[in-house]
Structure 1
């Protein structure tokens, strides 16, 4: 390979999946330098996004996280989560090959499942306002600010007066934004009143509804209708990652023809914001905003009837088009994946070998973002964690030995 010109090597490498490129770093130092270079990482990501290749699905079961390439569904990999487990680790979003991980509101990380690199976010404590004694629901969002070329995490914490405050709108939310470029958090001081009504217990029984949907430099959440508080239909709330301000997204004009009890959810398809309107848990209309922020660009793409394999269509969102664009992959009820044929209007279950029967899914682009060397401080942190774990084991062992020596001391 030493005789091959580097421009040809680069062209070949741009077509390869990140997992292969990680292995190729050991071939020679020039190849390692090429793969690690910011220009190559950006070019590789750009080509992947344009061609829609190297896509993987993260599958979250009851206790484990799995990954599978969309092109080869028989190759399922168990993803060993890099965060120290103090509870169930949640995946609260993905962008350009990175996923947001959360163990708690103060234990967050960005993780690249293709390169296995992680960046632990600095701890940002949650400050309870005076008069509040309990924290309620937490909303997360993760996305890319393409104007400032910065990855950002949004954390919105609901406060409650006490455990009996079920509505949870006694106090304003605490909204903080993390910037990867500065590796720091910033509090958003100007928060609209409508954010106080973002949480609704029955709507948020499905945990995914607390995770922002990324489209056009904005994160989106649905503010569900609440009797006596919000009149009419649901509202789509957006947070602009560039200006770091809140606003609303106009709904399609035809939405006024729906009953007020329509269940609305949001998603993203081909980079465009989607609106999913489920009615009577029997069918769902899928709308797409073809030109972001332009109300008249809302277009109804298709309608999905409840499949016979599920009792009710409580939740649905589109993930990706098939390569021939004749089908759309749907996540149904947060438990299964199905292909919807746009021509025949039929649903077919996506079978994945050696995978749990029930799971939620996150579509992830394979990329080299965060690099292959990862966070230089992560090695030090990992060593410190290993040292603490070793010291804990030694203390436990000493306690056990002391107990045994005292409990079984022979009297001579």
Structure 2
């Protein structure tokens, strides 16, 4: 005992803690702290990199980051610091924060990002070419770019924290303007990541194509998918949940309003909407989209012209479990246009809703606001000078390398991208 006291002054060594206590401590640490812990000793490294710990960590980790893309630069924002304290007493004011121009990577001294904002924008990587944000799933981010031979899409998988990027094989079908839906998800049963895209061909047929990370090529699931699964524009802001992808369809049938794709069985399925949805009700709502709130499937839409509603499916797949999470009087959005209010970016783990809106009369200048259903308040999202034309999604940071998460053995398939911050 005396030797142990001389070691650490506590009477015991930290490795003498029961395993469940050590795990509980690590579960509470942010991803970047876990990376440091893996360098402390072999025991820490073995515990933190164990597959079971990794999956439990990601499933319990709060949504601490919002990933933003200005067509080339991908940044992570600490969601715990999103709201400006100076606006805490503004009630239901809109509290807009204008996003400035992106600085050149070679002129960082001229950056409009304040020190206050820089602490929130703690990771920025350069993808090297214009990209679009697809979505995040299980600690990884999916990006997409166009303009490759015959107008085919090229997808990337990214871990922003480790600044690693994996380029996937080019998608087989030319998409032109006929891409109806694409999303990235994770199948926990097989520990595989997958990308689904729905494309309408020149012969007006809907084709479903799937890529499983680790394979050499895409495969066609169905050469003639029913047009009822075709997604509406901006119909899914956080589509990945319970091993399935979700979106709002263009089908006029109520029973086919919400479509899902089972990533394990590679099957299309329908998710029943709330029981009060009928033809008359559907005609009263607009801007409907599907996402994830506190680990549950949710629907967001505007009813009439003055009420924003969010409904939560508390028990996945059970129509009786749909419950209204909150509603907002549109008039409370001071300074925001109605057409901007029904397009949420996502929800933080605390339940705060994040939205994007145009700032003033400049359609190329955007702002982000957050809304708390518990307090009924809107607050400024201080993101420290991200550029215009942003895209955003909730994201949970992963402390493991992209190679380890995707089980990639060929080092040439994963590249390190330039990290600006």
- Could you tell me how far 1:99 is from its partner in structure 2? 0.9
- Could you tell me how far 1:4 is from its partner in structure 2? 4.3
Structure 2 counterparts to residues 11-410 of structure 1, below 5 A: 12-28=25-41, 31-48=44-61, 52=62, 55-61=64-70, 63-73=72-82, 74=117, 75=119, 76-82=121-127, 84-85=128-129, 88-104=130-146, 105-126=152-173, 136-160=178-202, 170-180=203-213, 182=215, 184-189=217-222, 191-195=224-228, 198=230, 204=233, 208-209=234-235, 213-224=239-250, 230=252, 235-256=257-278, 257-258=280-281, 260=283, 262-263=285-286, 264-306=288-330, 307-314=333-340, 315-317=342-344, 319-320=346-347, 323=350, 328-333=352-357, 335-356=366-387, 359-370=390-401, 375-379=408-412, 382=415
- Could you tell me how far 1:100 is from its partner in structure 2? 0.9
Which structure has more relative contact order (CA 8 Å, sep 6+)? It is 2
User: C-alpha separation between the residues in 1 aligned to 2:225 and 2:335?
Assistant: 42
- Could you tell me how far 1:353 is from its partner in structure 2? 3.2
User: C-alpha separation between the residues in 2 aligned to 1:94 and 1:212?
Assistant: 8
Q: 5+ unaligned residues in a row in structure 2: which ranges?
A: 1-6, 83-116, 147-151, 359-365
User: C-alpha separation between the residues in 1 aligned to 2:388 and 2:46?
Assistant: 42
CA-to-aligned-CA distance 1:222-257 (integer Å, 9 cap, x gap): 1236xxxx3679822211112211122222221225
Conserved 8 A contact 2:312-2:325: yes
CA-to-aligned-CA distance 1:308-333 (integer Å, 9 cap, x gap): 1212244333733564xxx6223244
Conserved 8 A contact 2:346-2:353: yes
- Could you tell me how far 1:277 is from its partner in structure 2? 2.0
- Could you tell me how far 1:109 is from its partner in structure 2? 1.9
1:378 and 1:90, CA in 2 relative to 1: closer, same or farther beyond 3 A? Answer: farther
What SS is found at the alignment partner of 1:253? coil
User: 92-101 vs 216-225, which deviates more?
Assistant: 216-225
CA RMSD of aligned residues (A): 3.6
Larger Rg: 1
Q: 5+ unaligned residues in a row in structure 1: which ranges?
A: 129-133, 161-169, 386-412
1:361 and 1:151, CA in 2 relative to 1: closer, same or farther beyond 3 A? Answer: same
- Could you tell me how far 1:36 is from its partner in structure 2? 3.8
1:378 and 1:157, CA in 2 relative to 1: closer, same or farther beyond 3 A? Answer: farther
CA-to-aligned-CA distance 1:80-137 (integer Å, 9 cap, x gap): 244x42xx21121111111111113542122111222333323342279xxxxx6622
- Could you tell me how far 1:281 is from its partner in structure 2? 4.7
> Under a length normalisation based on structure 1, what TM-score does the superposition of the two structures give?
0.72
State the number of aligned residues: 350
